[in-house]
């Protein structure tokens, strides 16, 4: 049976790739972190992503955190894919004053907030 973390991550990754393909004409390449912080440090973001991925894989059986870890893993892999193949992250969602972002970014935020919520609840 497939672990819930991996199933959620797979779905997030596929949706991220599809949306980036569909909206490629309206996209921007972000070579930094959130809000384009630390541009040109792609190697650092790749290293952090690999550490996050390994940590989640090691902790995947913690039942109460699986939903959050699935979102975080899918978002991290989605942005890691971009960083490796495009040397930055493809962003295409633009909402008024919020900096441009993508589905993987949204999944990372949802995953992190879900994990924090579960931690506070316990």
Residues noted as catalytic: 91, 105
Burial class (CB in 10 A: 0-12, 13-18, 19+), 82: buried
Query: What are phi and psi for residue 62, nearest 5 degrees?
Result: -75, 95
20 vs 52: CA distance, rounded Å:
22
């Amino acid at each position: 049976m497939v672990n819930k973390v991996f199933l959620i991550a797979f779905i997030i990754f596929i949706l991220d790739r599809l949306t980036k393909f569909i909206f490629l004409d309206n996209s921007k390449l972000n070579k930094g972190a959130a809000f384009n912080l630390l541009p040109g440090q792609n190697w650092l973001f790749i290293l952090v992503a690999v550490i996050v991925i390994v940590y989640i894989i090691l902790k995947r059986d913690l039942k109460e955190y699986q939903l959050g870890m699935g979102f975080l893993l899918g978002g991290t892999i989605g942005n890691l894919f971009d960083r490796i193949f495009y040397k930055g992250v493809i962003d295409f969602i633009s909402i008024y004053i919020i900096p441009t972002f993508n589905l993987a970014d949204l999944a990372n935020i949802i995953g992190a907030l879900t994990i924090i919520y579960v931690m506070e609840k316990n």
